[in-house]
Amino acid sequence: MIRAALLVLACLVAVPAFAEEPSKEDRAEIDACLALAADKAKKAPPPKDELEEAPGAEARLAAAVEKAGHDRSSCIGALAKTCIQKEGNTSNAALNECYSREAVVWDFRLNASYRAALAKMDKDAADNLRKTQRAWIAWRDATCRQPEVVFKGTMAGPMQAWCMMDLTARQAFWMAGWVE
């Protein structure tokens, strides 16, 4: 009984309270990383497409490394890393808190882009975007619950929190594409 209660508590701590609004400092940390990536992207040579890039795994990895310095997805984890370093430890509680704090920022950005995208779209496109977003939320929640189901222990909490942060950030980028 106690184990079940602790598991439920660990799950609640791991899942960000996305209804929260992130602090200005947390938003600024992510904004600064994204601005730096955008600035570097402006200065970088245009990326090679599939026909220009050399074939093979080595060439693909080299191109990915070259792109990472100005790819906005490289900013996923920036706030969490700073938070973890400030905490000075990697306890489950610290990891849960730091990943969840960053997830709240990405969710804030995702919701802002979602509202902006809906405002730009005609009825059919907006209806489909709503359906897509609802399906994505269900998929994200089920995907991020997998560590709890598999491991049934305390290590599942940080894995779940990281998953929520990572998938929410990637969806925020995808949604922003419908606004840009």
Q: Name the residue ranges covered by the structural domains of the chain.
A: 2-15+22-46+75-177
Tokens, residue 50: 């599939």
Range in 86-95, 101-110, 136-145 with the lowest mean pLDDT: 86-95
DSSP string, the chain: -HHHHHHHHHHHHHS--TTSPPPHHHHHHHHHHHHHHHHHHHHSPPPP-TTTSPSSHHHHHHHHHHHHTT-GGGGTTHHHHHHHHHHTS--HHHHHHHHHHHHHHHHHHHHHHHHHHHHHS-HHHHHHHHHHHHHHHHHHHHHHHHHHHHH-STTHHHHHHHHHHHHHHHHHHHHHHTT-
Question: If you average pLDDT over residues 1-29, what whole number do you get?
Answer: 61
Residues shown for the chain: 180
Quote the pLDDT of residue 19: 61
Model confidence band, residue 18 (pLDDT cutoffs 50, 70, 90): low
Whether the Cβ atoms of residue 79 and residue 104 lie closer than 8 Å to each other: no
Q: Are 93 and 161 in contact (CB under 8 A)?
A: no
